[in-house]
Structure 1
Amino acid sequence: MGDSTMLFDLEPPSHGGDLEAWQRKMSQAEHWLDLSSACNREPWPIPEIDPKLWYELPDQARLYQAAEDFFGQSPVAIGAGTQQIIEVLPPLLQSQGAGQKVMVPQTGYQEHGYCWQKWGYSLHYYGSLEELLDQKWDVAVVIHPNNPTAEEMNPSTRVELMARLTSDAQRYLVVDEAFLDAAPERSWLEGDLPERCFVLRSAGKFFGLAGARVGFAFAHEMWRAPLRSLIGPWPVATPALEVLVQALGDSEWQAEAKASLTERNGYFQDQVVPKLNTLFDSQEVTHTLLFYTWRTSPEQAKKAFNALHSVGIHVRLGDGWIRVSLPAGHEMQRLNHALVKLLQGHQLKELA
């Protein structure tokens, strides 16, 4: 069972590009192009909201139905973003006597590891998903596709992980699919979930509605009551609930959004990626439909990050990697022109 010593004083991880913090530190940053979040830069358009929604307590019944229609099965719980679900899974499994060893990706959304660690679990890291097949663990977290590495689980690894869950009654698996809405055919939700498997989906990435703070937990029916108990009543505000009901049901926009992502990715790969390869001094690039990530040296990453700031482009800087959100169609030329200016200027000499 997880260690009873809670570590709630741990230093929390930093998040996103945090453009507002940079704007507070630097002059003229309010005009930057923010490509740091990895959310859809052409989000679902928010309609006019009926003011009465601000005066009513939320009734989630319609959202549960809309989610079932969109995902193909009903979530067992809805939270204030997948973040809230990530927060409650450690105490939930601790109450079930889960073992102490938790494995999370070496590079990935850091809140996963942080939340398990602060509840007293022993945290371990893996480099590739295949390592999970060779090691003993009590809880494993898979980010599918991974943010920021873009790694996806291949079908054979999925089959073997599923077999381990079925054969070992003490193991639990958490699959974070926050970035999978644009390619749902690769989801774990395409089949029945084992009893000790949790799948998380988000409204913030494909739909671009990060501010709505809506996340979905899918799992065996046995987890419905305990998850909802830990999350508590009314986790999603009434206006956000109404927006998500409409967005999940807007199949016309969803089709247009997927077509736009395909078109924008084509342009980005042809026109922008070669320039960023030069800037980052790296061709080690991976991507999803929503973001691209370059691996380079920590020093080169920091230099390139600062150089992009000099032309008003804000991206996500990691330890030896840089992630760039796929721009909206109307932002492509602005980014392209900024990169041309940068590569033709003195900053390029400083990067050499």
Structure 2
Amino acid sequence: MKNFDLEPPKHGGDLQAWQRREQGADHWLDLSSACNREPWPIPDAFLENSAKLWYELPDSFALQQAATDYFGQAPLAIGAGTQQFIEVLPALLQEQGRTQIVMVPAIGYQEHGYCWRKWGYEVVEYHAIEQLLNADWDIAVVISPNNPTGQYVPSTVASQLKILLENSARHLILDEAFLDTTPEQSWLNQALPRGCFVLRSVGKFFGLAGARVGLIFGEIAFQTALKSLLGPWPVATPALQLVALALNDRAWQAEALDSLAERHEYFMDTIVPKLNTLFDSQAMQHTPLFYTWLLEAEQANKAFAALHSVGIHIRLGQGWVRLSLPAGHEMQRLNAGLVRLLQGHQLKELG
């Protein structure tokens, strides 16, 4: 039975909401969204000539070509972020007359479980991806790398899951929204197994979260139904043109990977020891774009409040906190805020 009255999950990237609630929050450092803090720079030529794009109906041809070249496979559809596909997949895969079992990660992007639940599926949470190899399920959601835990699908498990899909009528949704920084891990490097959908985003590595562009890959047999669910123009003309330019900009992509590696080294050497002290934990996992500490709920809440007290906004989850990798010019500000915290009374309160 459908339930469209469920309370939706909370998200990072909500600094403006906090600014409306808390006085003096106008100049906070926002590390809550896990998107690249040094995003793809929008070319001046695009800004100067983009006015006419607002008068034209969307045509996704250029982005389809750029995406096929960038990902190595043609997408089934382009939508308003991977979020739109998370919304429509339950309707696409629903079978009349029976309740299907969907397995989702216990810790992960909560919109996955939420969307399957509101469409009436039986949602079961798993704690280790290996559980999928022996459990009874119709549809499974896998996030690689997982947001927020940073865990990738082990290659041995990936091989077994592909065999399982080829020899059953099951479906697997693989969320690769954060995978651009480690493309060797992508299932798009080979032909996808039967029943598999892969979601990709330009909001993370490229930092173009406001463009609201996502892509879905899978069996061509689903293309007509997917496009029917999405409608004729799911993405605005300026966003289609902008993202095509970004996917074709291989020079920036190489520079961005170098920048991420350089910033990561500084973050690990200078910032992480202070955060370990602040969180009273070294249980940190990371991807090239974000860092997550698994904490007791009370400790996580206190750490979140302490960082707010020095103007640093992070993502607070249930038993974890996550920070996006700062831009180079943000490192000193973050470091100075942590020094003030560790020298002040807030540290005593955390103890």
State whether TM-score is above 0.5.
yes
- 2:285 is paired with a residue whose SS is strand
TM-score, normalising length: structure 1: 0.97
- 1:307 is paired with a residue whose SS is helix
Q: Gaps spanning 5+ residues in structure 1: where?
A: none
Residue 75 (structure 1) aligned with residue 75 (structure 2): yes
The aligned counterpart of 2:162 is 162
The aligned counterpart of 2:51 is 51
Paired with 1:9 and 1:122, the residues of 2 have a C-alpha distance of 16
Residue 60 (structure 1) aligned with residue 56 (structure 2): no
Paired with 2:102 and 2:297, the residues of 1 have a C-alpha distance of 27
Deviation at 1:195, TM superposition (A): 2.3
Paired with 2:106 and 2:89, the residues of 1 have a C-alpha distance of 20
Paired with 2:105 and 2:202, the residues of 1 have a C-alpha distance of 22
The amino acid of 1:213's aligned partner reads R
Which residues of 2 match residues 3-18 of structure 1 at below 5 A? Answer: 5-18=1-14
Greater shift, 150-159 or 14-23, is seen at: 14-23
The aligned counterpart of 1:130 is 130
Paired with 2:74 and 2:98, the residues of 1 have a C-alpha distance of 25
The aligned counterpart of 1:175 is 174
Deviation at 1:215, TM superposition (A): 0.3
The aligned counterpart of 2:111 is 111
Which residues of 2 match residues 312-331 of structure 1 at below 5 A? Answer: 312-331=311-330
Paired with 1:291 and 1:28, the residues of 2 have a C-alpha distance of 26
The aligned counterpart of 1:197 is 196
The aligned counterpart of 1:258 is 257
TM-score, normalising length: structure 2: 0.97
Cα RMSD (Å) of the superposition?
1.1
Which residues of 2 match residues 304-319 of structure 1 at below 5 A? Answer: 304-319=303-318
The amino acid of 1:166's aligned partner reads E
Deviation at 1:46, TM superposition (A): 1.2
Rate the CA distance shift 1:54–1:36 in 2: closer, same or farther, 3 A.
Answer: same
Match of 2:18 among 17, 22, 27: 22
Deviation at 1:224, TM superposition (A): 1.2
The aligned counterpart of 1:32 is 28
Paired with 1:20 and 1:337, the residues of 2 have a C-alpha distance of 23
- 2:26 is paired with a residue whose SS is helix
Which residues of 2 match residues 188-227 of structure 1 at below 5 A? Answer: 188-227=187-226
Paired with 1:348 and 1:94, the residues of 2 have a C-alpha distance of 51
Moved over 3 A (4+): 95-99
The answer to whether the 8 Å contact 1:99/1:138 transfers is no
Deviation at 1:276, TM superposition (A): 0.2
Paired with 2:98 and 2:313, the residues of 1 have a C-alpha distance of 41
Q: Gaps spanning 5+ residues in structure 2: where?
A: none
The amino acid of 2:162's aligned partner reads M
Deviations 1:227-256 (A, max 9, x none): 111111111101111110100000000000
How many percent identity over aligned positions?
66
The aligned counterpart of 1:184 is 183
Paired with 2:15 and 2:303, the residues of 1 have a C-alpha distance of 17
Paired with 2:230 and 2:280, the residues of 1 have a C-alpha distance of 45
The amino acid of 1:77's aligned partner reads A
Rate the CA distance shift 1:236–1:207 in 2: closer, same or farther, 3 A.
Answer: same
The aligned counterpart of 1:289 is 288
The amino acid of 1:236's aligned partner reads V
- 1:29 is paired with a residue whose SS is coil
Deviation at 1:168, TM superposition (A): 1.1
Deviations 1:130-185 (A, max 9, x none): 1111211100000000000111101100011111111112x110000000011111
> How many residues are aligned here?
347
